[in-house]
Structure 1
Amino acid sequence: MTTWKIDPAHSEIEFKVKHLMITNVTGHFAQYDATLTASKDDFSDASISFEADVNSVSTKNSQRDEHLKSPDFFDAANHPKITFKSTEVKKKDAETFVLKGDLTIRGTTRPVELNVEYAGITVDPYGQTKAGFELSGKINRKDFGLTWSATTEAGGLVVSDDVRLVLAVQMIKQA
């Protein structure tokens, strides 16, 4: 069994939400951890666990970030972590996988499915073996209890229910 740990200096954990239904607001988590274990070199039997610190959320707007941490959204005081635990990895071809797992946000756990593109393995200048992955998917925020909503004067939504997940992940092979 080989264990891999996420390299936070070379990874990005982002989400995108439509604002006023015309543009995307991008947010990310600055503090997170992930572990991947696999016995097969092609990662087809991988098991993945991930957690993000809700208080590290950033959308480049401190007022919005504080609102996201509030009970209207993530409720960071009562639910400081977002977690993911894989339940299945389905290999489609050498570079494409479907990752299924349980995502927990705000104390609510729901099954999610992420598309994974495997970019390969390389050795960095410091002798560390690294594997690269791009993950994407979509969730409905209301499925996780993030139900705050507002409408514009014209009746349009301020924040979309759909949240796109976009992750660029570099994993470091552990000795």
Structure 2
Amino acid sequence: MTTATELTGDYVLDPAHTRIGFVARHAMVTKVRGAFHEFEGTAHLDGADPAGSTAQVVIKTESIDTGVEQRDQHLRTNDFLDAPNFPDITYRTTRVEQKSDSEYRVTGDLTVKDTTKPVTIDFEYTGNAVDPFGNLRVGLEGSVTISRKEFGVEWNTALEGGGVLVSDKIVLEFDISAIKQGQQGQ
């Protein structure tokens, strides 16, 4: 078992084992799921005092993928993320609170397009392990629902029977595997 002191240190997200995804309701009847495939993230974890932990993530908007290229191209336009003018979505922590042995509330500034707003994400610490290469990994899972309109992503179209094509509420999902830096396996 790894102690809190042993967990303390600097980490980088492992993009091969981390998923940053989203869910949006489409046409009021079904959910469309997608993910961003290009991102970088770093964190400093303080095992003894989680409030001293920090993290930042930079997501490349161009890397959005819903499995439908025509939809992905539309999401990259100014109607949604405007990838040519705003190539990054960023999140930088401002506060970390420990809620229980495995639950954390992380507050930070989320920037989408040219709008920055505070967003609080509840995370579950899913554990740690030393991989076959000698790297200490930690796992976290979390999600949060945001209003895309609050971030200037307002495009929509009305449906004939009422409602809209794309929901305002978007669920952001985080399945994180982070590797501790400065250890034997590096």
TM-score clears 0.5: yes
Deviation at 1:41?
A: 4.7
Amino acid at match of 1:60: G
Amino acid at match of 2:68: N
Percent identity, aligned pairs only, is 38
How many Å separate the matches in 2 of 1:42 and 1:97? 12
Q: Is the 8 A contact 2:28 2:163 kept in 1?
A: yes
Amino acid at match of 1:75: D
- The alignment's TM-score, normalised by the length of structure 2, stands at 0.91
Describe the superposition over 1:29-52 as per-residue Cα deviations: whole angstroms up to 9, x where unpaired: 000011001333564421010010
Q: Among 130, 134, 141, which residue is 2:148 paired with?
A: 141
Which residue matches 2:112? Answer: 105
More strand by share: 1
- The alignment's TM-score, normalised by the length of structure 1, stands at 0.97
Evaluate the alpha carbon distance shift between residue 41 and residue 120 of structure 1 in structure 2; reply closer, same or farther with a 3 A threshold.
Answer: farther
How many Å separate the matches in 2 of 1:83 and 1:66? 21
Amino acid at match of 2:179: I
Which residue matches 2:132? Answer: 125
Partner SS, residue 72 of structure 1: coil
How many Å separate the matches in 1 of 2:143 and 2:111? 17
How many Å separate the matches in 1 of 2:128 and 2:48? 10
How many Å separate the matches in 2 of 1:59 and 1:42? 38
How many Å separate the matches in 2 of 1:55 and 1:69? 6
Q: Among 49, 56, 72, which residue is 1:49 paired with?
A: 56
1:90 aligned onto 2:108? no
How many Å separate the matches in 1 of 2:28 and 2:107? 28
Which residue matches 2:37? Answer: 30
Which residue matches 1:168? Answer: 175
Q: CA RMSD in A?
A: 1.1
Evaluate the alpha carbon distance shift between residue 39 and residue 90 of structure 1 in structure 2; reply closer, same or farther with a 3 A threshold.
Answer: closer
**Which stretches of structure 1, 4 residues or more, deviate above 6 A after TM superposition?**
none
Which residue matches 1:152? Answer: 159
Q: Which consecutive unaligned segments of at least 5 residues does structure 1 have?
A: none
Evaluate the alpha carbon distance shift between residue 102 and residue 34 of structure 1 in structure 2; reply closer, same or farther with a 3 A threshold.
Answer: same
Amino acid at match of 1:7: D
Q: Among 18, 23, 28, which residue is 2:25 paired with?
A: 18
Which residue matches 1:72? Answer: 79
Which residue matches 1:62? Answer: 69
Q: Which consecutive unaligned segments of at least 5 residues does structure 2 have?
A: 1-7
